[in-house]
Structure formats: C-alpha cells, structure tokens
C-alpha cells in the first residue's frame, strides 16, 4: 500500500519542482557611469539551476569569473546565493554597450535573460 502510494507520487514530483522555477531576484538596470569609474551590473536569481553568463552586445563573455581579453571585467559570483554581478573597473568608452545576464535552461526550468544598457560618459565631454 505504501509502495503504491510512493510510486504513484513519483510523476507528480517534477510538477511540484516546476513551482520552484529559476527567476530573477534582481535584474541589471540601465546604468550611466563616468569614464574611469566602476560599473556594477547586478544579476541575482532565485532557485538557480542553469549556468549563468553575461553577454556584451550579443557576444558571450563565458562562464568563468575572469573573462579572457577583458582584464577589467570580473564576475562577482556566489552560486549558492544565485548572485552573478558583473563588475567593470576603470570604465572606458569601449564598455558602452548592451549587456545581458543569461541563465541557461536546466531540467524543468527554461532559460531566462535580462538586459541592461551601460552608458559610459566621456570625461572630456563634461569638462
């Protein structure tokens, strides 16, 4: 009787898990920073199961915390807390772009993504 109960419950478990879908807790916001200062693009996820990466103008920056070819970029990540903030130090005009935090699909979870525009204001423009 108990076995029957447990076995009949098994197909229901994925449906229960679906209620705990990964979703954004904090999405990156459009940001304006002065050239030479730091930019922090935030991305935090509830119930994180997929792999997270940032893209810059559609170009994938990869899954590691340091990004080859982008020494000023780092991902301040805490997987257990679902935190994947992208920090750009000494911002320059080259960083002025559209960024996207992408959370990959995983069992019973679809991919999610959120965009933010980083605008870097040239120092000389203000002078």
Ligand X SMILES: *[C@@H]1O[C@H](CO)[C@@H](O)[C@H](O)[C@H]1NC(C)=O
Q: How far is the CB of 75 from ligand X (least distance, A)?
A: 19
The Cα 28–Cα 45 span in angstroms is: 11
Among positions 28-57, residues that touch ligand X (CB under 6 A) are 36
Q: How far is the CB of 92 from ligand X (least distance, A)?
A: 4
Q: How far is the CB of 94 from ligand X (least distance, A)?
A: 8
The Cα 52–Cα 77 span in angstroms is: 10
Q: Are 118 and 31 in contact (CB under 8 A)?
A: yes
Nearer to ligand X, 6 or 93 (CB): 93
Nearer to ligand X, 81 or 92 (CB): 92
What residues contact residue 114 under an 8 Å CB cut-off, 6+ apart?
24, 27, 28, 43, 100, 101
Contact pick of 92, 110, 115, 119 for ligand X (by CB under 6 A): 92
Contact pick of 90, 110, 115, 119 for ligand X (by CB under 6 A): 90
Nearer to ligand X, 70 or 108 (CB): 70
Q: How far is the CB of 102 from ligand X (least distance, A)?
A: 27
Q: Single out the residue of 57, 112, 109, 122 nearest to residue 84, CA to CA.
A: 112
The Cα 36–Cα 126 span in angstroms is: 13
Binding site for ligand X (CB under 6 A): 36, 90, 92
């Amino acid at each position: 009787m108990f076995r029957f109960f447990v076995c009949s419950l098994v197909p229901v478990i994925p449906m229960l898990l679906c209620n705990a879908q990964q979703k954004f807790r904090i999405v990156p916001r459009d940001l304006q920073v002065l050239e030479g200062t730091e930019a922090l693009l935030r991305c935090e996820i509830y119930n994180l199961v997929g792999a997270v990466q940032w893209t810059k103008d559609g170009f994938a920056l990869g899954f590691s915390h340091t990004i080859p070819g982008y020494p000023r970029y780092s991902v301040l990540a805490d997987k257990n807390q679902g935190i994947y903030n992208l920090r750009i130090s000494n911002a320059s005009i080259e960083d002025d772009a559209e960024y996207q935090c992408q959370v990959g699909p995983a069992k019973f979870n679809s991919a999610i993504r959120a965009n933010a525009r980083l605008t870097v204001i040239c120092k000389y423009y203000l002078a």
